[in-house]
Amino acid sequence: MTPFTENVVNIIKSIPTGRVMTYGQIAGLAGSPRAARQVVRILHSMSGKYKLPWHRVINAKGQIALQDDEAFYEQKMNLEMEGVEVGLHGKINLEKYRWNPNS
């Protein structure tokens, strides 16, 4: 596992219940601010193996990015069960729910 991938996995594991982070935010904290798509790939390929809370990662617009209806509703349901309010079109208030591990 590359250092970047290891950092991404550790950051995602550390997102607390009821909070979210964006793909780009995770990429930046992991050391490569322009690697949001790599974060997507890591989530897709390693969520099961490392038991990552994949549902706590959303896009920079504060929305659930999954296009597949079943996965979209699974992520929405998981977030709502943790107390995150998910609005129309999977919109999440980043000011309220974004987690910043450095603050």
Burial of residue 82 (CB within 10 Å: 0-12, 13-18, 19+) is middle
pTM: 0.94
| Maximum pairwise Cα distance, the chain | 37
Burial of residue 21 (CB within 10 Å: 0-12, 13-18, 19+) is buried
Asked if residue 101 is part of any domain, the answer here is no
Block means of pLDDT (10 residues each) for the chain, 103 residues, are 95 98 97 96 94 97 93 96 96 97 81
Asked if residue 72 is part of any domain, the answer here is yes
Asked if residue 47 is part of any domain, the answer here is yes
The total domain count for the chain is: 1
Asked if residue 103 is part of any domain, the answer here is no
Q: Which domain holds residue 16?
A: 3-96
Asked if residue 102 is part of any domain, the answer here is no
> Could you tell me the CATH number of the domain that includes residue 80?
1.10.10.10
Distance from the Cα of residue 98 to its chain's centroid: 10
**The pLDDT of residue 37:** 96
Radius of gyration of the chain (CA): 13
